[in-house]
Amino acid sequence: PGPGSELRRWPASSCVVTGASRGFGRSLVRLLAPRLGRGSLLLLLARSAAQLAELAAELRGTDSGLRVEFVAADLACEQGLRQATAALREVLPAGPPGRLLLINNAGSLGDISKTFLDLTDPDEINSYFAFNITSALCLTSSTLQAFGKQPGSSRTVVNISSLCALKPFKSWALYCSGKAARDMMFQVLALEEPDVRVLNYAPGPLDTDMQLLARTKTGDEAMRQVFQNLHESGQLIDCSVSAQKLMKLLEEDTFSSGAHVDFYSI
């Protein structure tokens, strides 16, 4: 639905979105904000302070009764992650207690010009996994702790996944293994915390900066061609179209907790 179409407003909620400053995260936030009932809290996390400030100002400019906070932090480094978790612990207990939604969207491709055999530097590999796995785990556990277990409240955690969590791609050893690890990590959360709704959502091949990298930097020539063909044949998905499908999934709330749901299967 476009602007002006009727949206079912959610009850007052506390929402956290990582990687919120651009691409899919930014599209998600713009779709999510109008759905949040008055008094809701929206906490945005990303590296770029300028882009976050601009997005927060845009959302605050609407008469939605929405409290918008943002934290500019580099989740790839320990100091940035500690800054983000400290903000969660401070802001969430003061937010509405009825509903929690956390969307783990922040992620990176890694150096896709390299093959498996080129990946010999432990610092590069550890830094990749620190951002793509460690930060998602720490932020999720900190968010759930800060929000707490409250009678009658609902808690939903979304991991932005990928086909790469299930299928290997040449030159993408870091990205595929990071996405696979995250899917499994969130399946464990679903098992341990049955009253938390957990979703691994694969948004499809999005028309973003990441796809530009995929079709220009992927080391394996055949893989690079696949991404170029997707772009040239107009098969890349607009971020807002995929974000709309995720919103629909969350509103219907019929997925099995821990499930991997792909854009094309909806």
Helix ranges (DSSP H) in the chain: 23-32, 49-60, 78-91, 122-129, 135-147, 173-192, 209-217, 221-232, 239-252
3-17, 113-127, 140-154: the lowest-pLDDT one: 3-17
Paired tokens of 76: 């790839």
Q: Does residue 152 form part of some domain? A: yes
What's the average model confidence in pLDDT over 80-84?
Answer: 97
The mean pLDDT value for 98-114 works out to 97
Looking at the predicted structure, is the pLDDT value of residue 77 above 80?
yes
> Which among 160, 162, 258 has a CA at the least distance from the CA of 204?
162
Mean pLDDT of 156-163: 98
pLDDT for the residue 4 = 41
Average pLDDT in the 89-113 region? 96
What DSSP element (H or E) covers 99? strand 99-104
In the predicted structure, residue 1 carries a pLDDT above the cut 60: no
- The CATH number of residue 168's host domain is 3.40.50.720
The span from the CA of 123 to the CA of 125, in Å, is: 5
Q: Please say whether the dihedral angle defined by the alpha carbons of residues 189, 43, 85 and 208, taken in this order, is positive or negative.
A: positive
For residue 10, CA distances in Å to 15, 27, 35, 53 come to 11, 18, 6, 25
Within-domain flag for 210? no
pLDDT greater than 90 at residue 64: no
pLDDT of residue 5: 44
The verdict on residue 231 lying in a domain is: no
Q: What angle do CA 25, 82, 75 make, to 5 degrees?
A: 35
Residue 9, pLDDT > 90, answer no
Specify the DSSP class assigned to residue 37.
P
Give the count of domains, the chain: 1
Instruction: Look up the domain containing 91 and give its range.
Output: 13-204+239-262
Q: Is 70 exceeded by the pLDDT of residue 141? A: yes
Phi, psi of 122 (to 5 degrees): -60, -35
> How high is the mean pLDDT of the chain?
95
Is the pLDDT score of 71 beyond 80?
Answer: yes
Q: What is the pLDDT of residues 171-230, one digit of tens each?
A: 999 999 999 999 999 999 999 999 999 999 999 999 999 999 999 999 999 999 999 999
* Residue 5 maps to a domain: no
Q: Residue 128 falls within a domain, yes or no?
A: yes
What is the reported pLDDT for 151?
87
pTM of the predicted model over 0.85: yes
Distances (CA, A) of 158 to 49, 112, 140, 170, 218: 23, 25, 10, 27, 28
In a domain, 8, yes or no: no
Residue 180 lies in a domain: yes
Cα distances from 199 to residues 104, 133, 155, 161, 212, in angstroms, run 10, 16, 11, 9, 27
pLDDT in the model for residue 200: 98
| Both tokens assigned to 77 | 């480094």
Q: What is the pLDDT of residue 7?
A: 67
DSSP-derived letter for residue 257 is T
pLDDT at 169: 97
Confirm whether 6 is domain-assigned.
no
Predicted local confidence at residue 110, as pLDDT: 97
Q: Is the pLDDT of residue 6 over 60?
A: no
Q: State residue 14 phi and psi, 5-degree precision.
A: -110, 120
